């Protein structure tokens, strides 16, 4: 019973993810593509939940469903053409894109097939709690370095967007 609920949830989430990803590629209106991309991110977050990766799911929702989706929506707002469908023209590059996609798929499949996945019967003691303990005790320098990195990213982004002042 439990397995069936799990499998149903997985197929629903996988279906949502794949269908919205297909929609991102094939829809004419780039705004619809942007929204479907956000939906695909949500589907992936759901799959993370099924894998018991709660923290990853939260990060997926916050960073991809929140930040990346907002950035893409803003990108669309700023660059769109007057006629929406001409913002998303038929790509003359699609054969090249197909080639790249096939090569990427080959690499991914090869990596998955060739990797030995070690399986243990012991549940990993890795959760949000464990992550917090590690992050705030053993890896505290990396943690604060992340703050500095974010600061640098923000300052750099503002300078890029506004232009640096003459010294």
Partner 1 sequence: MLKEYLAISMFFIVALLIPVAVIFISRLVAPKKTTPEKEEVYECGVDTVGDTWIRFKTSYFLYALVFVVFDVETVFLYPWAVQFQQLGTFAFVEMFIFIAILVVGFWYAWKEGALEWK
* Tokens encoding 61: 């929702």
Query: To the nearest whole angstrom, how small is the minimum distance from the Cβ of residue 8 to partner 1?
Result: 10
Query: To the nearest whole angstrom, how small is the minimum distance from the Cβ of residue 155 to partner 1?
Result: 6
The residues binding partner 1 (CB under 8 A) are: 5-6, 9, 49-50, 52, 55, 58-59, 62-63, 66-67, 70-71, 74, 77-78, 80, 82, 84, 128-129, 131-133, 135-137, 140, 143-144, 146-148, 150-151, 153-155, 157-158, 161-162
Residues 6 or more apart whose CB falls under 8 angstroms from that of 55 comprise 127, 128, 131
Query: To the nearest whole angstrom, how small is the minimum distance from the Cβ of residue 70 to partner 1?
Result: 6
- Do the Cβ atoms of 16 and 29 come closer than 8 Å? no
In the complex with partner 1, the residue whose CB is nearer, 62 or 109, is 62
Calpha distance 117→138 (Å, rounded): 27
Q: Which among 41, 47, 36 has a CA at the least distance from the CA of 12?
A: 47
């Amino acid at each position: 019973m439990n397995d069936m609920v799990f499998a149903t949830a997985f197929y629903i989430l996988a279906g949502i993810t794949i269908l919205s990803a297909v929609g991102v590629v094939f829809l004419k209106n780039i705004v619809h593509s942007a929204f479907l991309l956000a939906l695909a991110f949500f589907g992936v977050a759901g799959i993370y939940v099924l894998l018991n990766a709660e923290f990853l799911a939260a990060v997926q929702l916050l960073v991809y469903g929140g930040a990346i989706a907002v950035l893409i929506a803003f990108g669309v707002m700023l660059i769109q053409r007057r006629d929406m469908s001409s913002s998303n023209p038929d790509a003359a590059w699609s054969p090249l894109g197909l080639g790249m996609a096939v090569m990427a798929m080959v690499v991914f499949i090869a990596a998955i097939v060739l990797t030995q996945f070690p399986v243990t019967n012991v549940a990993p003691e890795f959760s949000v709690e464990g992550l917090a303990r590690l992050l705030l005790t053993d890896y505290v320098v990396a943690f604060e370095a992340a703050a500095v990195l974010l600061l640098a990213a923000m300052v750099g982004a503002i300078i890029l967007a506004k232009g640096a002042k003459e010294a």
